[in-house]
Amino acid sequence: MPDKVRVAVTVNGTAHDVLVEPRTLLLDFLRDELALTGAHAGCEQGACGACTVLVDGEPTRSCLMFAAQLDGAEVTTVESLANPDGTLHPVQRAFTENHGLQCGFCTPGMLMAACALLQHTPHPEPSDVREALSGNLCRCTGYQNIVRSVVAAGAES
């Protein structure tokens, strides 16, 4: 096996200094090494967006990036959104208030893509949401309530 790579990475505010196998996908690093299971493997080919996390603030498909690439990076996952006391993040609250989720498997990816959008565009129109989330598949909701949720989250802030 090739040499492991040393990576200093901050995940949800916690600094990690780790050795990773070069081929370890960011998705598996988060799930298997850090036990952060919010990002999901839906296709492992970048087609579904269920594994979306933020890398240095940018929405990123964690199945198409290697943990070895993360030296110096800051990663944000869905686990960072709610407060430890159970208070939901405004985007999470908007999703539950607008029934923007059913099985929940795509939801963490949707939430992270929505957070990235709201950072650039705090009060998005439905068309902005459609554009920003177009690469994230959902098989349950029919999307309409997801768009409503993100627009509502923007309206609230």
Partner 1 sequence: MKPAPFAYLAPRSVDEALAHLAEHGSEARPLAGGQSLVRLMNTRLATPSVLIDINRIDELAAISRENGTVRIGAVARQRACETSSHVRDGVPVFAEAVGQVAHPSVRRRGTAVGSVAFADPSAELPTALLAADGEVVAASTRGERSIAADDFFTGPFTSALAPDELAVALRIPVSAAARTGSAFVEESRRHGELPMCGVAAVITLDDDGAVAQVRIALCGVHRRPIRARDAEAALLSEHPDDELLQAAGALAASAADPVGDCHGSAAFRRHLAAVLTRRALATAISRAEERNA
Partner 2 sequence: MSYKYVGKPTPRKEDPKLLTGRAGYIGDVVVPGMLHAAVLRSPHAHARIRSIDASAARALPGVVCVLTGAEALEHINPMAAFCAEPVPQTAIATEKVRYPGEAVAVVAATDRYIAEDARALIEVDYEVLEPVVDPIAAMTPEAARVHDTLDSNVVFHRSLDFGDVEGDFARSATVVRRSGRWHRMCATPLETAGALASWDPYTGAMTVWSNSNFYNFLPWVFAGILGVPTNRLRLIPCTVGGSFGSKHLIMQVVAIAGALSKATGRPVRYLEDRFDNLAANDNTGPDRHYDAELAFSPEGEMLSLSLKIIDDYGAYFQFAHGQHGNAMAQPTGPYRIGSLRYDVACVLTNKVQQGFFRGAGADPGNFILERLVDAAADELGIDGAELRRRNFIQPDEFPYKIPTGNVYDSGNYAAVLDRALEIADLKHWKAEQERLRAEGRYLGIGLASCQERTGYNASEWWFLYDNPPLPATSTPESVKLQVDAMGGVLVELGCPLWGNSPETVVSQVIGEEFGIDPAGVAVTYADSTTGAMSAGPGGSRLTIMLSGAARGAARTIRDKMTRIAAHAMEMSPDDVECVDGTFRAKGAPGTSMTMGEVAMRAHLFAHDNPEGESSGLVDTHTYDHPYATPPNADRTDMGAFYPMVSHACHIPIVEVDPETGRVTLLKYYAVNDCGTIMNPPLVEGQIMGGIVQGIGAALMEQYEYRDDGTLGTSSLREYLIPTLNEVPDIVVEHVQTPSPFTEYGVKGAGEGGRLVAPTAIASAVSDALRPLGVFVDELPMTPERIVAAVQAAR
- Residue 154, contacted partner among partner 2, partner 1, none, CB below 5-8 A by kind: none
Q: How far apart are CA 37 and CA 157, in angstroms?
A: 28
Q: How far apart are CA 30 and CA 37, in angstroms?
A: 7
Nearest to 91 by CA among 55, 54, 61: 54
157 binds partner 2 (CB under 8 A): no
Q: How many CB atoms lie within 10 A of CB 55?
A: 19
Enclosing H/E stretch for 55 = strand 52-55
Binding residue for partner 1, selected from 16, 21, 93, 121, defined by CB under 8 A: 21
37 binds partner 2 (CB under 8 A): yes
The number of C-alpha atoms within 13 Å of 130 and in the hemisphere containing its C-beta is 5
Site for partner 2 in 5-34 (CB under 8 A): 21, 23-24, 28, 31-32
Binding residue for partner 2, selected from 108, 114, 153, 154, defined by CB under 8 A: 108
DSSP SS3 for 84:
coil
Q: How many CB atoms lie within 10 A of CB 121?
A: 15
Q: Please give the residue ranges that form the binding site for partner 1 (CB under 8 A).
A: 1-3, 5, 21-23, 25, 28, 44-46, 49, 52, 58-61, 63-66, 68-69, 71, 113, 131-132, 134-136
* Contacting positions for partner 2 (CB under 8 A): 21, 23-24, 28, 31-32, 35-45, 47-48, 50, 77-79, 81-82, 86, 88, 92, 95-97, 99, 101-108, 111, 130, 133-147
